Structure 1
Amino acid sequence: MPAAIGNRSRGVARSANGPMPSIRATSSAPAGLPLLCHPSTRRRIERFSAEKVNTMGRSRRRKKLPAEPVEANIESMSHDGKGVVHIEGKATFLVGGLPGERVRFLYTQQRRKYDEGRVVEVLQASPERVEPRCAQFGICGGCSLQHQAPAAQIQTKQQALLDALEHLGKVEPETVLEPLLNETPWGYRRKARLGVRDVPKKGKVLIGFRERGSSFIADIEQCHILHPRVGQLLPQLSQLIEGLSVKRQVPQIEMAMGDETLVLIFRILESLNEADRQALAQFGAEHQIEIYIQEGGLDTIQPLSGIPADLNYRLPDFDLSLDFLPIDFTQVNTGINRQMVSRVVEMLDPGANERVLDLFCGLGNFTLPLARRAGEVVGVEGDAGLVTRGRANAKRNGIDNVDYFTANLYEPLEQEPWLLQRFDKALLDPPRSGAQEVLEHLPKLGVERIVYVSCYPGTWRGMRASSAISMAIGWFPRGSWICSPTPPMWSRSHSSKRDDRWD
């Protein structure tokens, strides 16, 4: 029997990027003898493709897309998990394909510099193709690589990282370390925001990730990437909200999980009545979940019981336990985080007499482990709340060689007191927007070694290093996200002038 990919459930769900067809593939099927998707599915896909409008951020005339499928060989995979083909020299990024496969696809978007499409038939399958575990794979936007074998996923991400470093960051590493792998490729995710919507036509409340490229909530009964305490609880959560008086006023549930404690934050647009509160409290007690309510901004988030949850996670290699609040940024994958922290400390290799600067330090995920090895660590973070919890975590773990500062690292930093100090080494773990503004200060501080943790290699533009070590990290098995710690070795004569040629 051929191996089915894509949507294997009841029909095709609606999506802003077009319905996801049922795709079937077989590595034994000869080229030119495709296995077709259902006729009704094909009609919907063709109708959608013909009517797709390219807005490009402003109003444009309706542009008719080619209605007939196009046949092509997938050459490689992009950093976001899409197959790459070239049609008449123009790059096209395809959802649902793997390198080496011959496919048929339909255009979903045509742009000036590149196009986008969706695979509808696999004529010749890659040996890396596997059966997706989730029936909604290809529709739900939570995963992008379930159709690829786990080992191949890591290789794909590693190559995507190296390609991105070359083309976006203009960096060529001298050494590439082995990727960090997750021992548990399923049920790893401990932080997530789930959409909620009451859909009368379906007769239920949908809870889950949004469909790919759409505002619709994917109709899933179980999520295999969420921690099982939530991923297997979606039907019960749906029934809970169905029974609330404000069921149409609950747009989101956010999960935050420590090593033991699970918190669910219910975003509520109208006040709960007493029956609603009792139902939520009973649900929390039955499933050992701490229920929080958010009726406005972040400052309105409160535990339903009035007693804050005890949230923390451990870093066993450093004998540390870090407390955090449900709204705090923490890594979604506990196992990988432990490995990465250990690897980063190893790469930075702080000495007992050395001073380390930790920029974008958060609540101390790297700061405190570094303090176990270094003489002194200074952490700088823009969120004052995280700085407060970082100091509390240092005290709780008996660490007294850490100092924290609150500073917006995207604003001019001439008067910051920590800029008047000298440091031997530095760690940067910025958000996707990068750290260009603060990076230019580091050579002036005497920094000779930097470890830069990035989820977007484009942020490395303008960096000049004599050596670099890169590795992809499997934060998101089944997803296309990549994270990479890289230590450039700066010389004292390193120029701090920004190079904008690739911006």
Structure 2
Amino acid sequence: MSDLETDIIDLSHDGRGVARSDGKVIFVRGALPGERVRIGPRKRHRHFDEAELLAVLTPSAQRAIPPCPHFGRCGGCALQHLQSAAQLAAKQRVLAENFERIGKVVPQRWLAPLADAPWAYRRKGRLSVRWVEKKGRVLVGFREDNPRFVADLGSCAVLAPPFDTLLAPLAALVDSLDARRDIPQIEFARGDDAALLLFRHMQPLGAADRARLAVFSDRHAIALWLQSGGPDSAQPLRELDARALSYRIDDDAIEIVFQPLDFIQVNAGMNRRMLALALDLLAPQAHERVLDLFAGLGNFTLPIARRAAVVAGVEGDAGLVARAAENATRNALGNARFHTANLFADQRQAPWAREAWDKILLDPPRAGAAELLDYLPGTSVRRVVYVSCHPGSLARDAGTLVQRHGFRLTAAGVMDMFPHTAHVESIALFERD
């Protein structure tokens, strides 16, 4: 393929513009539907090509100027060049297409897209670290579009403070360490009142390096942890770094304490909005029994417990289950109980699966809940709220709930948990008479 002028006709699931030439699909990063562009060859495949955007000849009315100077090199964001409202509309189209194509279902009504602040939202994540011989220095940031490379970032507009301005200081810190070549990743996490960095290191750190880390921790008022092996090896650098992280939800009535490597929703503002919407759709009543599957730390379980007679949270990670139970005790919610179970295995003989439930909340990982839907929901369940991080698995499971279990897909909508990315978070309500 040589240089070509063409029209962009669609947006792909990963945020690239879609063109066609001689019957073959071409993906163009940075191009938007409705634009006339000039593109150059980048990579050829059997069924599609990838092209480089050389010039936008006729821009879309929905094109935005990316505020981040690293956009286009850093792979952390794919849609900064598209206005926020248009991003949400594109995500809803992806969800609708998945429902129709995979699940063969259509919602009776669409919920208004749920959004919060589009910048400085990411409170948890993982940064890549790499010593680059040719540059003679360390880079700290997200991967580039080509995942073999780490983007050279000075700041990040989507990271929550204080992480947004710490990328350059972190690169300088690692550059000063004797173990600069042995640190591949830095995890970051922030609660409501404290922030933490966790350094993965492949070799033991010497006393001089540990002292440099301690100085950085004190200078930036941020706790610092180390991880030399698997998750169980994570430990604070010093005793004073061991302070707990926590966040409050449900009008600040509930406090959830978590460990640095625990899963939490990365967008605090959207998490609060999502919880309010999920509770509104689920509508737990004081006499009802509710089952929360893939419960994690109790992010949904504990607010449900304030409204229902009984709630059971089921989760596969034993550490998360233990901390969820501690969070229930801490918040004096004695009607919440938790079970450890592999929800991708057949659990139909488990006591909690054999009980009668009125309502179910599902919040599975990307793989969805296909295995669960072989034996749940039971006949007593009249309402299911499904929170999804992958539209394809939601659509598949929606088809199962509607066609096999007799539910109606009453409502569905997208939630902008990851603004400026192509990630589609969504929520769906299923009901049966």
**TM > 0.5 fold call:** yes
Structure 2 vs 1, CA of residues 200 and 213 (structure 1 numbering), >3 Å: closer, same or farther? closer
Q: What SS does structure 2 have at the residue aligned with 1:313?
A: strand
Write the distance in 1 (CA, Å) between the matches of 2:99 and 2:40.
30
Residue 476 (1) aligns with residue 418 (2)? yes
Trace 1:6-85 onto structure 2 (pairs within 5 A). Answer: 66=1, 68-85=2-19
Contact 2:126–2:188, Cα closer than 8 Å, also in 1? yes
Q: Give the letter aligned to residue 262 of structure 2.
A: D
Q: In structure 2, give the amino acid aligned to 1:159.
A: R
SS of the residue 2:156 aligns to = coil
Cα 1:228–1:421 change in 2 (3 A) is same
Matched residue, 1:237:
170
Query: CA deviation digits over 1:305-334, x for unaligned, max 9?
Result: 135221001104261110000000001100
Residues 419-452 of structure 1: CA deviation (Å, up to 9, x unaligned)? 1200010010000001010023223352111011
In the TM superposition, what is the alpha-carbon distance from 1:298 to its structure 2 partner? 1.1
Question: What is the alpha-carbon distance in structure 2 between the residues aligned to residue 200 and residue 442 of structure 1?
Answer: 54
**Aligned residue for 1:97?**
31
Quick check: which one's strand share is greater? 2
Residue number in structure 2 paired with 1:298: 231
Question: What do the CA deviations read for 1:96-155 (whole angstroms, capped 9, x no partner)?
Answer: 111110112234344444333332221110111122112221111000011112222222
* Counterpart for residue 431 of structure 2: 489
Task: Return structure 1 stretches of 4+ with deviation > 4 angstroms.
Answer: none
Q: Which residue of 1 aligns with 2:255?
A: 321
Hey, what does 1:86 align to over in structure 2? Answer: 20
Gaps of 5+ in 2: none
The alignment status of 1:186 with 2:119, answered yes or no, reads yes
Report how far residue 167 of structure 1 moved. 2.3
- Tell me whether 1:467 sits opposite 2:409 in the alignment: yes
Q: Deviations 1:54-87 (Å, cap 9, x if unpaired)?
A: xxxxxxxxxxxx2x12222111212221112233
TM superposition shift of 1:234: 1.3
Distance 1:457 1:306 in 2: 43
Residues 276 and 355 (structure 1), Cα distance of their counterparts in 2 relative to 1, 3 Å cut: same
How far 1:280 moved relative to its partner? Answer: 0.5
Q: Deviations over 1:322-368 (max 9, x none)?
A: 00000000011000000001100100111111111100000100000
What is the TM-score with the length of structure 2 in the denominator?
0.94
Which residue identity is paired with 2:307? R
Which residue number in structure 2 is paired with residue 332 of structure 1? 266
Q: Which residue of 2 aligns with 1:168?
A: 102
Q: CA RMSD in A?
A: 1.5
Structure 1 unmatched ranges of 5 or more: 1-65, 492-503
Higher radius of gyration, 1 or 2: 1
> Contact 2:360–2:383 at 8 Å: present in 1 too?
yes
In the alignment, what sits opposite 1:410? 344
SS of equivalent to 1:160: helix
Matched pairs, number: 424
1:361 equivalent in alignment to 2:303: no
Secondary structure at the aligned position of 1:487 is classed as: strand
Counterpart code for 2:312 = V
CA distance in 1, matches of 2:295, 2:377: 19
Pick the aligned partner of 1:389 from 318, 323, 332. Answer: 323
Q: Take 1:277 and 1:98, find their aligned partners in 2: how far apart are those partners?
A: 48
CA distance in 2, matches of 1:168, 1:114: 22
- For 1:279, what is the secondary structure of its paired residue? helix
* Structure 2 SS opposite 1:212: coil
| Aligned match of 2:378 | 444
Identity of aligned residues (%): 46
Residues 318 and 171 (structure 1 numbering): CA distance in 2 closer, same or farther, change over 3 Å? farther
What is the rounded CA distance, in whole Å, between the counterparts of 1:331 and 1:487 in structure 2? Answer: 20
1 or 2 for the larger relative contact order (CA 8 Å, sep ≥6)?
Answer: 2
Q: Of 125, 129, 134, which aligns to 2:63? A: 129
Moved more, 371-380 or 84-93: 84-93
- In structure 2, distance between residues paired with 1:436 and 1:107: 40
State the alpha-carbon separation in 2 of the partners of residues 118 and 204 from structure 1.
Answer: 29
